[in-house]
A and B are shown apart, each in its own frame.
Chain A
Amino acid sequence: MFIHLHVGSAFSAHYGVDWPDTLAAAAKAGGADALAVTDRDGLYGIPKHIGACVAAGIDPILGVELAVLDDTGTVGGRVVVLAHGHNQGAGYAALCRLVSAAHARKTVAVTRAEIAARLLTETGPVGTVLLGPLSDVGLKVGTRGDGMVLMEQWLAVLPREALRVEVVSHLSAPGLPFSHTHATRMLRLAGRAKVKAVLSNAVRYVLPDGAITADILDAVRALRRLDETGVQPTAQAWLKPGSMMQALAAEIAAVGQAGAGAAKALLSNTEELADRCRIDPVRDAGWGVPVMPEASIIGITGDPLTVLWERACAGVNTLYTGAGTAALEVV
């Protein structure tokens, strides 16, 4: 089984194309029993995603795609952070705090140290970081640079169990980002760094047609014409069914001459991480459980019902001032 771990929904402003219910239904039809949502810069799509997954009968996986600041304070790349599940919401809470930290800045972004601080707990990591083609490591590898130096900076703050190399190929021309060659270089780096590699399709739309909308979203985001911005290198960022993703893994392994075992490992690592990130809608995310604000927050110290009665009685006298004693008795 193949599970998509990197999926931008329409809640990724000017980036993702399709709504969570469309994505969840397609994932189910493609043979998956779980689906991630990893919107850019926020968790806006998460309630709809959980609802859509519950309706489709699959497990939700929750994540976010965030810009990461390098040591000089400029954005070095973007990573996906996935919450681990079945930990009474510890993973999801870490995700929420991380997003809050990102939005406390003028440029929405986090540092590596902030990611580590949120994900690492006494009982081990509650989330996993995916270093994909748009991460600092991926960008470096994409320009034929050695990604190892940046990888070591990640390994300095996060243990290997909380870190994955995200291998993506949108079959763009050899040498370009999101090409087979880029993917095989990432795979090779993962091997050298002894960090497990997972496969994703960095999804932006549910069907190939969605690429048209994605092209337009890119132009709108840049406030430029289509022929000025240049379009996505390919139209392959769709929610491919499991069989196609398995074939893709084999193709990448073959191009990289990594052997048949490499494709198998890539797929089993992906499945293993997906299993770790399956969310229990109720126990992890409080799905369907009404939450009232704590009484103390709105200044109530005694029994809430008594306080409500007292406030109502006092309210009658101020709200019906001109009504006269007889009418007040009726009220």
Chain B
Amino acid sequence: MKLFYSALLLMCMVGIGMQPLAAQEEPAADSSPRVRHWVFGLNAGLDRNYHSVDMVYMTDMRFDKYREGSVFGFRIGYAPTKWLSINTGAVLIQKNYHMDHVFQYYNLRYSLPTTTTNQYVNVPLELRLSVGNTVKIHAFGGVFGGYWLSSHRSGTTYSFSNDRNYEFDEDWEFNDKRDNRLETGFTWGAGISGMIIGRIEVGADIRWYYSTSDIQKPYMVNLNPRYNTAFAIQAGVSYWL
């Protein structure tokens, strides 16, 4: 949590400290502004994933509402006008969750936590509206497709046969019948950016990746859906071509 808020603070400071230069306009030799259309950028940040699952009567298996992860990616944008651009790219994003199996067995209280770390690659396609001249404010929205790259579990469980707790820390093998590794959804958010040196722009944004695809395939009729919603805060640097 400390890391999360520290990153947020850092990104605010980056935003505040940006130089008051035009985003994609620079003086040309004849002193009329020259519009640059293409931008390439790198982003990094943190995210919190909300894993939506209804455990119905299995009330002892409690999912934490949020779990932190990291985000890293690049973006390619094309801006036909000063205030509108279309962006895509690829983002490596963790969509993690945590479950604690808490129960009372005779007079003892047990807590068996499992942290699941999921690595996804998301490819957004979004429209970005920008306002401002020196410092720009952006609002963007679109869709994304994704792929579930890997899953890792760590935690504690109770081995009844050995009558003791068992610690595990292992990669989770995907099950072709159960796991839906393809992901689709909506993404939206807002950000701030500004030019610092020449064609280099820095910025920060907050965004949501709202998945509309169940992480499970429809392999049974009575299947309770499970969805991820990731909220990311990221900062980045871009270069206007």
Are these two chains actual partners, yes or no?
A: no
